[in-house]
A and B are shown apart, each in its own frame.
Chain A
Amino acid sequence: MLLSPYPTTGERIRIALLWLWCGMVILFLLVPILIPVPLSFNSGAFFIFPLEGISTRWYEVVLGTQRWQAAIGNSLIVAFGTTLIATLLGTLTAIALSDEKFPGRRIVMPLLLSPLIVPVVITAVGSYLFYARVGLASTYAGIILAHTALASPFVVVTVGASLSGFDRNLMRAAAISGARPITSFFRVMLPLILPGVLSGAAFAFVTSFDEVVVVQFLASANQRTMPLEMFIGLREKLSPAITAAATLMMALSIVLLVVANVLARRGKQRPRID
């Protein structure tokens, strides 16, 4: 509804200017994230256009050298660990919170969301201080725990959203039919909220896989993850291998988040069973 039925010249000019401005904003949004992609296939060692030639040598560095392989391995360990714990506990919590009888919802919900609100450096420094005392610093368990705090709010929110479309009478029907709570959960509730759970899991995975500040404080040299390796690389010397790593990370997060959002939408729009 941009133009009125009988647009004046002034209106046409305004709309043209709006499109021009928005076109520039979209370029500003997209060009920076697309730039690393062609650079990562550059055969030269510099970041200057035009490219010298096409090659996959920087991907060979990222996927083939021991240092990057270890980092990718660490990232996967931490991200899968975080996803597992955050999805499991986050789903249980979302189910509890979706019950209107849950005591103190108004207090619990902001507390659950607080890891997203507190500046991440404070979380990282606090974890470093506490985990060092209890022997969790420089361990995978420590990093996974800290990442679970950052990732679980996403699971609680997405599963909560899919539960808001879940008809609780189905659970009552299952109970009347003689199903024990555990059976009705696995056979009735879980299949219906599964899109929401998987979407939450994807959010949790991406949150952990992209996280670098907490890792920077908690990880020893043996636990460097891919983002941390990138961060260190960016501080030391800008190498095109970083553009290859950035492209890989970007591709992974975009694919996972597209899946997460499609699932989340499907979880919410699921037709009810009448």
Chain B
Amino acid sequence: MSALEPTKLVRPRASRDWSAADPGTAKSVAAALRRADFGDRLRSLALAAPLLVLLALSFGIPIVLLLSRAVYDPTIADALPQTSQALRGWNGTGLPDDAAFLALAADLRSNQAKGTAYELAKSLNARLPGARSQVLKTVRQLEAADRPPLEVMKAVPFWSAPGTWPVIESGTHSVTSFYLLSALDLRWNADGGIERVPPEQAIFVQVFMRTFFVAAAVTLATLILGFPLAYLIASVPKGLAAILIVAVLLPFWTSILVRTAAWTVLLQKFGLVNDLLLWLGVADDRLDLMYSRIGLIIAMTHIQLPFTLLPIYSVMRTIQPSQMKAAYSLGAKPFTAFRRVYLPQVFPGVMAGCLLTFILCLGYYITPALIGGASDQLISNFIASYVNVELNWEMAAALSFILLVFTLALFGIFARILGLDRLKLV
């Protein structure tokens, strides 16, 4: 480009403003420039506005709404107005007074009359396993009305059990930490401290650990497979490199679903992988690879390999081969030269590829759903099943919240140490 490249030229439009101002004073020129500048900013903002508004509506609000469900659950408070009132003065230990029992009885009956008793039973059950049947049973007995309500309530042991009332009391507050704590297998104990839930109720820490384990295993596998190939592609002449890179890009351009479908075909009991294992003599018998952890990791490794490889390759191809030669000529052994000259330079690419693959693995849904067994479902699958099967939005929201925190934290690390520019793959 020629020297004629005045990048900071004032736009011609601004000259109109100058003519209006006194040309003699620098101040008014500066003011006119500022006005023109402000107009430019406003115009570029207006250009971006449609997409920003659309993203806020179609993406931002849905996410915020979902996350708010993790901490805001007014169902119980709405369903039990009198009980909420009666529990105001309760100190939270032991059983509340009879007025609270009567208020609960009245609330249960009014829910029955409104036809919302089942809803209430369900949302209580989400916080207090077993509550559903107890609520419905009590409602039936209250309906029968052959005894005074207080007697009915006291006759059901559930309502006098030590754990029941604290949960009802916490339910009468619409803002709750219950679901977020549950997503980490934690709960409030009677003394106001946080404790682990009993082992038989704990599910989610294990699922998060499993998700991290699968993500780490896949990341490691893609690195072991991908690093040498990236090195080869970066070292061979251009024409050959182009052919090799196509072998990486073809699977990269095929959708995750199609690749998962291909793996369900390959991993069948009489599929190609088992044929190969038998032929090689690795296995004596056909293995059950479908619905297994190892099948899931193999398929995810295949899908993620280009994500790990491409950032490594893009760094490797910038490294001058002469540097390694210089190291050799200075007497370095190949391994020393590799470790002290090559590796430090490709390290950012390795970090970028591995972090990207690890982060993407945390959100996997399709592949575990189709290839994993019941004990290989990752956190996304639990979120989906809380929405589709259990209809427990609050729990789905809390799990989403935790998953999103992990994802964003890792991306924060990524952006901080590597810069967002490394997100571009080729």
User: A interface vs B, CB < 8 Å?
Assistant: 1-2, 4, 11, 14, 18-19, 21-22, 25-26, 28-33, 35-36, 39, 47-49, 85, 89-90, 92-93, 95-97, 99, 101-103, 108-115, 117-131, 145-146, 148-149, 152, 156-157, 168-169, 172, 175-176, 206, 210, 212-213, 217, 227, 230-231, 234-235, 238, 242-243, 246, 249-250, 253-254, 257-258, 261, 272, 274
* A252–B137 CA distance with the chains assembled, in angstroms: 58
User: B66 touching A126 by the CB < 8 A rule?
Assistant: yes
Measured between beta carbons, the chain B residues less than 8 angstroms from A29 are 247-248, 250-251, 302, 305-306
Query: Within the complex, what minimum Cβ distance (angstroms) separates A62 from chain B?
Result: 13
User: B365 touching A120 by the CB < 8 A rule?
Assistant: yes
User: A96 touching B47 by the CB < 8 A rule?
Assistant: yes
Measured between beta carbons, the chain A residues less than 8 angstroms from B305 are 25, 28-29
Of B7, B9, B58, B396, the residue contacting A149 (CB under 8 A) is B58
Measured between beta carbons, the chain A residues less than 8 angstroms from B366 are 212-213, 231
* A152–B51 CA distance with the chains assembled, in angstroms: 8
- Can you give 12 A-B contacts (C-beta < 8 A)? A1-B324, A47-B270, A96-B44, A101-B40, A102-B44, A117-B407, A122-B403, A126-B63, A131-B62, A152-B51, A172-B9, A210-B258
Decide if B2 is an interface residue (CB 8 Å cutoff).
Answer: yes
Measured between beta carbons, the chain B residues less than 8 angstroms from A118 are 63, 363, 404, 407
Of A121, A125, A149, A243, the residue contacting B55 (CB under 8 A) is A149
Decide if B225 is an interface residue (CB 8 Å cutoff).
Answer: yes
User: B66 touching A47 by the CB < 8 A rule?
Assistant: no
Of B12, B251, B334, the residue contacting A32 (CB under 8 A) is B251
Given the known interface contacts A47-B268, A249-B258, the answer about A157 and B424 at a Cβ–Cβ threshold of 8 Å is yes
Measured between beta carbons, the chain B residues less than 8 angstroms from A129 are 62, 65-66, 69, 393
Of B37, B231, B393, the residue contacting A18 (CB under 8 A) is B231
Decide if B57 is an interface residue (CB 8 Å cutoff).
Answer: yes
Measured between beta carbons, the chain B residues less than 8 angstroms from A210 are 255-258
* A148–B45 CA distance with the chains assembled, in angstroms: 20
Binding site of B, secondary structure by majority: helix, strand, loop or mixed? helix
Measured between beta carbons, the chain A residues less than 8 angstroms from B9 are 169, 172
Give B56-90 as 1s and 0s: 1 = Cβ < 8 Å from A's Cβ atoms: 01110111011101000000000000000000000
Query: How many Cβ-Cβ contacts under 8 Å join chain A to chain B?
Result: 266
* A92–B142 CA distance with the chains assembled, in angstroms: 64
Cβ-closest chain B residue relative to A156: B51
User: A121 touching B383 by the CB < 8 A rule?
Assistant: yes
User: B321 touching A1 by the CB < 8 A rule?
Assistant: yes
* A14–B333 CA distance with the chains assembled, in angstroms: 14
Cβ-closest chain A residue relative to B396: A125
* A274–B353 CA distance with the chains assembled, in angstroms: 39
Measured between beta carbons, the chain A residues less than 8 angstroms from B228 are 18, 21-22, 25
Measured between beta carbons, the chain B residues less than 8 angstroms from A249 are 255, 257-258
User: B258 touching A250 by the CB < 8 A rule?
Assistant: yes
